[in-house]
Amino acid sequence: MLEYRFDDLSPEDLHRERDVYGDLTQRTRTLIDAVLRTEVDVAEAQEVAAQLDALSERLLAKAREGSYGVAIGSDGTVRNYGNAVVGVRNPVAPPLEVQRSEEGRAWADFRLGAQYEGPPGLVHGGVTALILDQICGEAAAAGGKPGMTGTLTMRYRRGTPLGDLRAEAWIDRTEGVKTFVIGRMADEQGETTVECEGIFILPRWARKPVEEISESKPLRFE
Amino acid sequence: MLEYRFDDLSPEDLHRERDVYGDLTQRTRTLIDAVLRTEVDVAEAQEVAAQLDALSERLLAKAREGSYGVAIGSDGTVRNYGNAVVGVRNPVAPPLEVQRSEEGRAWADFRLGAQYEGPPGLVHGGVTALILDQICGEAAAAGGKPGMTGTLTMRYRRGTPLGDLRAEAWIDRTEGVKTFVIGRMADEQGETTVECEGIFILPRWARKPVEEISESKPLRFE
């Protein structure tokens, strides 16, 4: 069963959640890049490692048990801040700022650095799948057809260079509980590097909670 | 054009590369988890953020320009330490320690924490695609058919819980330059959560470099 967390955070708590922890997360992304590319000597690397341990300990002095999950505020705001693609509190997420339109379209412009590499100089093919899975799911949800991925088919046309990229997806058609979404990734010149088709299905066990939430308050993704 | 880096590191340099920087990377993974789950107050979060900046600066005082790429040592050891799935120097990689057998099979046991979440408590569907793309590619390479992903089709059977998991893949058949690989992910009980089929192709522009390298020295992945 999907467990959503309902809370009633004050404006101050919401600010801390998004801006303060979001800023901490962004600095951690910078650190990730530095750790991957550094060539400092052994003593310096070991000293930095020890200091990282101390900082982790400080942060864990007061911390949530388990994963972030998805939180829904009293105003209907959905916070999936732990999400591996869009989570503003997740240092492994680029993160994508996804734009949506009601006819079932979603897109994002973003930059992928060294930590998303597969073949030399290129984005890992699986990272393009990770991002397109999210964008296709967001397109389905934007069109009023939220669901989980049933199948996802990726077609790799050429290598995707690290750097500035765009991902976009749109609902192609629906058949009963299935929503067919088409997506693509493009490089800085707008050339398509990867295409995909995803089928999104709202599993039976998830239908009731989503209906209940949507009926009680309009959901707002931020 | 894929650019491999050839180098001639001393045993001491290789030790530093794998163990010292690998350890620094592992501590960074612990930090990532702490940043995602922390609930410390604003002042504390801001102080830790400032210290992270200082540590990043120290690491960047001497750092590689650009991404890590793939390095090949004088003994034929291939180091893809920057890889988003298996890279021991990449904090966003779990990292997977992939086992391989020569008939074209690859597998890994690993644990995914909060930073790989999609739906509450579940691994992001795109993260399972990221990992299976890598494992399928490794199976193809293990069977003597290295290539880049041409297509990848994912079938999601059920949610994949965060925690201990296994991914495995094997060559199903080859047709000319195409290698068909089947893979799956399984939860702690061994139940299949996701299945996939990938077609791997060695692009024309990559064939010559790979042949040249393989002919001049046997490659050894570590």
The predicted pLDDT at position A161 comes to 97
The predicted pLDDT at position B210 comes to 56
Restricting to B residues 36-75, those with a Cβ less than 8 Å away from any Cβ of A are 36-42, 44-46, 48-49, 51-53, 55-56, 58-70
Q: Do A129 and B154 touch (CB under 8 A)?
A: yes
Please work out, in degrees rounded to the nearest 5, the angle formed at the alpha carbon of residue B93 by the alpha carbons of B92 and B95: 145
Residue A160 burial by Cβ neighbours in a 10 Å radius (0-12, 13-18, 19+) = buried
Residue A87 burial by Cβ neighbours in a 10 Å radius (0-12, 13-18, 19+) = buried
Sheet with strand A178-186: strands edge to edge: A99-101, A105-112, A163-175, A178-186, A192-201, A148-156, B148-156, B192-201, B178-186, B163-175, B105-112, B99-101
Measured in angstroms, the CA of B211 and the nearest CA of chain A are apart by 16
Restricting to A residues 5-24, those with a Cβ less than 8 Å away from any Cβ of B are 5, 16, 20-21, 23-24
Rounded CA-CA distance A79/A67 in Å is 13
The predicted pLDDT at position B215 comes to 55
Tell me if residue A29 falls in helix, strand or coil.
helix
The predicted pLDDT at position B141 comes to 93
Which pTM was predicted?
Answer: 0.92
Distance between first and last Cα of chain A: 24
Restricting to A residues 85-124, those with a Cβ less than 8 Å away from any Cβ of B are 85, 87, 89-92, 113-121, 124
**Residue A110: phi, psi to the nearest 5?**
-160, 170
Q: Which amino acid is at B45?
A: A
B76–A contact, CB cutoff 8 A: no
- Which contiguous run of DSSP H or E holds residue A31? helix A21-37
Q: Which amino acid is at A80?
A: N
The predicted pLDDT at position A215 comes to 55
10-residue block means of pLDDT along chain A (222 residues)? 76 84 98 97 96 98 94 84 97 97 97 96 97 97 91 97 98 94 98 97 68 56 52
Q: Do B20 and A152 touch (CB under 8 A)?
A: no
Of A33, A62, A120, the CB nearest to B70: A120
Q: What is the dihedral of CA B102, B93, A31, A97, to 10 degrees?
A: 130
Tell me if residue A17 falls in helix, strand or coil.
helix
Read off the tokens for B182: 């089947």
Q: Which amino acid is at B191?
A: E
- The pLDDT tens digits for B106-116 are 999 999 999 99
Partnered with residue A27 across adjacent β-strands are none
Positions of chain B with pLDDT lower than 50, given as ranges: none
ipTM over 0.85: yes
Question: For residue A115, what is the DSSP state?
Answer: G
The predicted pLDDT at position A74 comes to 80
The predicted pLDDT at position A9 comes to 83
Contact B5, B71 (CB under 8 A): yes
